[in-house]
Amino acid sequence: MKKKHVEVWEKCLKVIRDNIPYQSFKTWFEPIQPVKIDGNVLTIQVPSQFFYEWLEEHYINLLKKTIRKELGSGGRLEYSVIMDSSYHDASPLSVNYPTTNKKATKNKPVSMPLDLNKGNVRDIPNPFIIPGLKKIKVESQLVETYSFDNFVEGECNRLARSAGWAIAENPGKTAFNPLLIYSSVGLGKTHLAHAIGLQVKNNYPGKTVLYVKTDQFINQYIDSVRNNNQNDFIHFYQMIDVLIMDDIQFIAGKEKTQDVFFHIFNHLHQNNKQLVLTSDKPPVELKGMEPRLLSRFKWGLAADLQVPDLETRIAILQNKLYKDGIEMPYDVLEYLAYSITTNIREMEGALISILAQSTLNKKAITLELAKQMIDKFVKNTTREISIDYIQKVVCDYFSLPLETINSKTRKREIVQARQLAMFFSKKHTKSSLATIGLHCGNKDHATVLHACRTVNNLLETDKQFRVYVEEIDKKLKL
């Protein structure tokens, strides 16, 4: 036979369940345990001080009505709050609190300042503090140099950057919630994520912004399971105003972590808090992810960062040099931007290598020095020849301005250079005929096919032309 306090609480839960959303019931009422009943006072145990304060702020009227319905007009509720005395194995301390007599305001958000510089949030352990070590200042974990000022805009990232800026102006209130930024490595996902967080803090100093790497989140969750304080872990993250999760693909296949993140995601989204996620793949390609999470990733905007074009790559290098107060010949920058095309991080790494070589050996930064350094660097990073680079080599060989290859002129020498650029692009890149045509004067795939046939025919019939092709090919393979 069930004890009276258990029966009374189960009857209360039936009423409560019918009056609040299922997820709210699961989060805030399922963890509660009835402890005892003494006359007309029911005592329930809640997991933390924060839990008690949330119930008092949001559900006090509902709780009072259900208790009085079961125990009469004099029925009262008392909380037994578990207080963690430390991070060690000491037994938790329970403190009893009566219900308050204040009238709760319906749907009024709870006001609880969250200070990431401290080790707790209203008695919620901060998962960024490692037990036994000195409490390190956490703040928002944002890197100041990853700002919008240092983020170079181009066609490759305009959509994602514009969405990020809109979010920073009005976090949680735009259609871009969540914002999922995806791309291959080294194209600026992390930079843009930090930029959004920094701009939010600049616009709204009172908002709590937190950047966290997904592997860090996973390790924190594992620690919370080991220390039996999963609820506190969840509550900590549910208090964030703007949560930025980097490399969300790492939770693929981790069912428990996905379940926890699902509840955090739901709570934040329902309370108009902003979520910014980054991934190396678009949502449709994320394997091992629960369908309910994937569907939520698609609620807002999934924006990709593409490989930047030549002009954007040069602008990125110029911006970096300007910030560091360094000058470098334009032809060196141009050669670097042509040589490394698929990874901005690697391109910036090559730039630093050139600067280091120049400084340490007291050599002037010349195109020759750049070629020596970049060739070594590119060999170690599986270089892929780009259409842009092929166009430059061809134009340099015939002493033609680069822009003429994409012009509409029908002059013989320019048409021939354009055909050679198309021929070598088909030979040395994995690009489709349509893509090659788009880069070579906005031509269609049939024009590219015709150009390749023309070059092959001339190779068989024109000795001088064959010399051109062989010498250009050697330059491309240098």
Per-residue pLDDT of the chain (478 residues; tens, 9 = 90+): 567 889 888 998 988 888 888 777 887 888 898 888 888 888 888 877 767 777 887 788 888 888 888 888 888 888 887 654 333 333 344 445 556 544 333 333 333 334 444 444 445 666 765 554 444 344 678 888 888 988 888 888 888 889 999 999 999 888 888 999 998 888 889 999 999 999 999 999 888 899 999 998 999 899 888 888 888 888 888 888 999 999 999 998 888 999 899 989 988 988 889 999 999 888 888 888 888 888 888 888 888 888 887 788 888 888 888 777 778 888 888 878 877 777 787 787 788 878 877 777 777 787 777 777 776 655 544 455 778 888 888 888 888 888 888 787 788 888 889 999 999 888 888 788 888 888 887 888 889 999 999 999 888 888 888 888 988 888 887 6
Half-sphere exposure of 335 (CA within 13 A, CB side): 23
Task: Give the residue range(s) of CATH 3.40.50.300 domains in the chain.
Answer: 148-304
What letter would DSSP give residue 406?
Answer: G
**Where are the CATH 1.10.1750.10 domain residues in the chain?**
387-477
Q: Which residue has the tokens 């997820």?
A: 23
Residue 188 in tokens: 């600026």
User: Is the separation of the CB atoms in 165 and 276 below 8 Å?
Assistant: no
* Domain(s) of CATH 3.30.300.180: residues in the chain: 4-98
Q: Is CATH 3.40.50.720 what the domain over 310-379 is classified as, yes or no?
A: no
Q: CB-based contacts of 339: which residues, under 8 Å, 6+ apart?
A: 350, 374, 378, 383, 389
Distance CA 58, CA 231 (A): 18
Q: What would be the CATH architecture of the domain defined by 387-477?
A: Orthogonal Bundle (1.10)
CATH class of 4-98: alpha beta
**How many CB atoms within 10 Å of residue 473?**
15
Count of C-beta atoms within a 10 Å radius of residue 467: 10
Model pTM?
0.54
User: CATH for 148-304?
Assistant: 3.40.50.300
Half-sphere exposure of 449 (CA within 13 A, CB side): 6
